[in-house]
Chain A
Amino acid sequence: MKAKSRLERVLRSGHFAVTAECGPPKGAGPEMIRKKGHILKGFVDSVNVTDNQTGIVRLCSLASCALLKKEGLDPVLQMVTRDRNRIALQSDVLGASALGIRNILCLSGDHQSFGNQKEAKGVFDLDSIQLLQVVRGMRDQGKILGGEELSEPPELFIGAVANPFADPFVYRVIRLEKKVNAGAEFIQTQCIYNLKRFKEWMKLVRDRGLDKKVYILGGITPLKSTRMAEYMSKQVAGMDVPEEVINRLKGVPTKEQRQEGLKIAIETIQTLKEIEGVHGVHIMAIEWEEAVPELVEKTWLYPRPEV
């Protein structure tokens, strides 16, 4: 039996987990990944590495995860189905496990038309739910799609995402259930600014008993400015930033907006800690990794538990 990921051990032993996100550089240099890793080390249990997010070409998630692993962090390999067919996806899953990566997050990925390769052919050979099922089959049955046996199965803690703020609202929970049935063991949600809607969603989650079947980590992105809040509200698909959050930032001088953004994030984390069925937080501090240690300390989530 191979060693379980830190994220899995933390969640299975009942601790409130903290994960963060690391966006790789638009270049071949490994230093930036290492630097971000050092900022986060010790303050979080695991670090997600995005997979060409918003369809923009960046240093690949697999290599970035390997670099973080070398620095002693527990990486979460994000894998989107936009860019690879089932052959490449399964091959990368095996490669990740061979490199000692122990967490995977399965997503469909932002549509290529959002990125800097708009003319690209979107692959979408599988969707995120099918990818979950495939990875689960590889790990648990030791078989690839079609039934052929692997000489050695990958060891991975398998995750997926959920967006409580997209439509149709009621169907969101049914889809979450499909992800759980497909094999998801942990869920990281879209950034939470609308706590009212998140709580309603969590109630539906509990009503279906899903909080007992999957670990749910609430998404947090500290806002840096009114501009960022307005941009996210209007330009980023699937994002719900209520007017009162924007107004709260508007209410303080520009120089203090970052601080206010952190305050909002701290309050949100504190609230999430009290919601039944929420098992952790996933902090996506976009190009602001320095914010993570402060958020973790100020929400009494530091030090991270020994597991």
Chain B
Amino acid sequence: MITAERKPLSEIKAMIAPYRKILVVGCGTCVAECASGGEKEVGLLSSALRMDAKMEGREIETKEITLDRQCVYEFIEQLSGLVNQYDVILSLGCGAGVQAVAEVFPEAYVVPALNTTFIGETKEAGLWVENCRGCGDCKLGYFAAICPITRCAKGLFNGPCGGSKDGKCEVNPDTPCAWQLIITRLDESGRLNLLQAIHPPADWSKREGKGPRKIEREDQKT
């Protein structure tokens, strides 16, 4: 999923300060899973903003709505008829959601309530970890399904570096050395020979070669 964290209330307040009527829009997919932008968080943020305004003697009006997916136009269109009734859209979607809403309603003023962070997994309740950088050229098959680009601090393809000690990364002792994990898993499954090959330099053009990437598929076009 795409993970995100809510911005500090002070930052959100500063962005919406000029406005009285606020449409608070959540997303029911990734950011709901990581408990930052789902229906529950939309409700919590709205009431926090209202409460805060009241304490300061201001009056604001909020309307809460959570879309199934804030990055897909057909869901965003549910906001039609609502958008023009509000001064600002406070989006609790990821960066893609914020931009998609603005794309559908270009006349609206859309601001983010979240900081989008990474593609990751839910490790345990309340813990999400990054494990994919979306490099566009997945090599997990060679690395025991542990991504060295994401999980090694140096992104080494032919690791580990000299800073791997007792299974920990020198950069952050709370982080396991990705290469120790790769080697252990390959060793335990009798595939250590996979590491004898020298991995050639990555093709970063698949990640950032010519600006924003797009996927275009004729078979999906209507």
Contact = CB atoms under 8 A, between A and B. Distances in A.
- Do A and B associate with each other? yes
Interface of A: 82, 86, 108, 110-111, 113-114, 122, 124-130, 133-134, 145, 161-163, 166-168, 171, 174-175, 177-178, 181-182, 190, 237-238
Nearest to B157: A127
A23 B196 CA distance: 34
Contacts of B78: none
B163 interface: yes
A163 B162 contact: yes
B170 interface: yes
Contacts of B158: 127-130, 175, 178
B171 to A, nearest CB: 5
B199 to A, nearest CB: 8
Contacts of B159: 127
Nearest to A238: B162
Nearest to A85: B204
B153 interface: yes
B204 A125 contact: yes
A169 to B, nearest CB: 10
B164 A166 contact: yes
Given A130-B198, A182-B198, A113 B157 contact: no
Contact of B165 (A125, A128, A167, A171): A167
Main SS class of interface, B: loop
A167 B164 contact: yes
26 contacts: A108-B154, A108-B156, A111-B153, A113-B153, A114-B171, A124-B154, A124-B155, A127-B157, A128-B158, A130-B157, A130-B199, A130-B200, A134-B201, A145-B201, A166-B160, A166-B164, A166-B165, A167-B166, A167-B167, A167-B177, A168-B160, A168-B164, A171-B195, A237-B162, A238-B162, A238-B170
B183 A161 contact: no
A291 to B, nearest CB: 24
A110 B164 CA distance: 12
Interface residues of B, number: 30
Nearest to A237: B170
A111 B183 contact: no
B184 interface: yes
Contacts of B195: 171, 174
B197 to A, nearest CB: 9
Nearest to B195: A174
Contact of A127 (B154, B171, B196): B154
Given A171-B183, A237-B165, A122 B201 contact: no
Contact of A86 (B183, B198, B199, B201): B201
Contact of B156 (A127, A181, A238): A127
A171 B160 contact: yes
A168 B153 CA distance: 17
A111 B171 contact: yes
Contacts of B155: 122, 124, 127
Interface centre among A122, A167, A177 (most CB of B within 10 A): A167
A122 B167 CA distance: 22
B154 A126 contact: no
Contacts of A237: 162-163, 165, 170
Interface in B181-217: 183-184, 192, 195-196, 198-202, 204
B129 interface: no
Contacts of B201: 86, 125-126, 130, 134, 145
B161 interface: yes
Interface string B77-106: 000000000000000000000000000000
Given A130-B201, A181-B198, 10 more contacts: A122-B153, A124-B156, A129-B158, A130-B198, A130-B200, A166-B165, A168-B183, A177-B196, A238-B164, A238-B165
Contacts of A178: 158, 196, 198
B131 interface: no
A290 to B, nearest CB: 27
Contacts of A167: 160, 164-167, 177, 180
Among B154, B159, B162, B199, chain A packs the most CB atoms within 10 A around the CB of B162
A125 B167 CA distance: 24
Contacts of A168: 160, 164, 180, 183-184
Contacts of B161: 108, 128, 166
A154 B171 CA distance: 34
B204 A113 contact: no
B152 to A, nearest CB: 9
Contacts of A130: 157-158, 198-201
A145 B204 CA distance: 14
Contacts of A124: 154-156
